[in-house]
Copies of this chain bind each other. A is one copy, B any other.
């Protein structure tokens, strides 16, 4: 993955993480490779049996910030502005105990928080090297930071949105009667990479009755004229930021009136939910707007899932746009708005845009037509 974040922004993220730790009486954050590490130092590293771990003290704690890495892999970290950020690289050799090295750096912590994805082998290695110290999750603390995107992150999500929109724009090349979902999916996956993603993380082509299953991916079903087809696609840019956008297409022929009517209700529900997004509105309120609108059209029971999920370095992250989540939206929060309707055994439809909350509403990062286009 390529680095892209100005070091002033990284310094700000590290400072806010240290502040958040201090607020929660956590002495140290211990973060192994993954998206939390990528967020904090703009490099993810690889997670494997050798320990790589960011040791990030709470603001005011005595330990120095350090990145513990296997000596063999130190060259891979040399391009980062770690010295400028006040983070020392500390290497260890095969045969040394990296957990004791962390313990030596840690300055006698009483409470550490480890990244949610840290593998058990490292969790227990650190537990045994820091006896008497409590271990909890860093996720609840870091998600407070990560769900409010800074300018560099919004720029990446905007670029990801434009890239996946270019793939949807090419759908007439791919989607046609007589082709299987798997054939169409393979072409779409290649286009996702061609349009600038590092990989195609997911490709859902749900044709005809398969569209009625929100978790359907690809099958050998041959697409027929008259099918309604759900296409939900995305992947990470080289920087790690994800795209995710769904459009629903009609293939070969206009669908019957009852389908067009239900689709019109869905489109209106998505439009209203997006229009409801602004600072201070609760996440669950956005969900309710879509749900109420579909219920008015007798489709409430056909909307089987939450309205959306946050997106960033993870394709699913906070905030979740779901009943029960009273979180007030704030500028910089980025998430999907993706109501759907699923008619068992017959057809399904979903419309999904990523939006970023602005000072007075939101910016849509996906702008392809939302009508039921006939290809």
A contact set with B: CB distance below 8 Å: 48-49, 72-73, 75, 114-121, 123-124, 135-137, 139, 215, 316
Q: In the bound complex, how far is the Cα of B136 from the Cα of A139, in angstroms? A: 22
Measured CB to CB, the nearest residue on chain B to A32 is B120
Other-chain residue from B73, B116, B316 in contact with A121 (beta carbon distance below 8 A): B116
Q: In the bound complex, how far is the Cα of B135 from the Cα of A115, in angstroms? A: 18
Complex interface: chain B residues within 8 A of A135 (CB): 120, 124
Q: In the bound complex, how far is the Cα of B220 from the Cα of A169, in angstroms? A: 32
Find out whether the CB atom of B121 lies under 8 angstroms from the CB atom of A119.
no
Find out whether the CB atom of A72 lies under 8 angstroms from the CB atom of B316.
no
By DSSP majority rule, is chain A's interface helix, strand, loop, or mixed?
Answer: mixed
Complex interface: chain B residues within 8 A of A119 (CB): 116-120
Given the contacts A49-B316, A72-B215, A117 and B120 also touching, CB distance less than 8 Å: yes
28 residue pairs of the A-B complex, CB under 8 angstroms, read A48-B316, A49-B116, A49-B316, A72-B215, A73-B215, A75-B215, A114-B120, A115-B120, A116-B119, A116-B120, A116-B121, A117-B119, A117-B120, A117-B121, A118-B119, A118-B120, A119-B119, A119-B120, A120-B120, A120-B123, A120-B135, A120-B137, A121-B137, A121-B139, A123-B123, A124-B135, A124-B136, A124-B137
Given contact pairs A48-B316, A73-B215, a sample of 12 additional A-B residue pairs in the complex whose CB atoms are under 8 Å apart: A49-B116, A115-B120, A116-B120, A117-B119, A118-B119, A119-B119, A120-B120, A120-B135, A121-B139, A123-B123, A124-B136, A124-B137
Q: In the bound complex, how far is the Cα of B136 from the Cα of A119, in angstroms? A: 12
Q: In the bound complex, how far is the Cα of B73 from the Cα of A105, in angstroms? A: 42
CB distance from A312 to the nearest CB of B (A): 14
Measured CB to CB, the nearest residue on chain B to A315 is B48
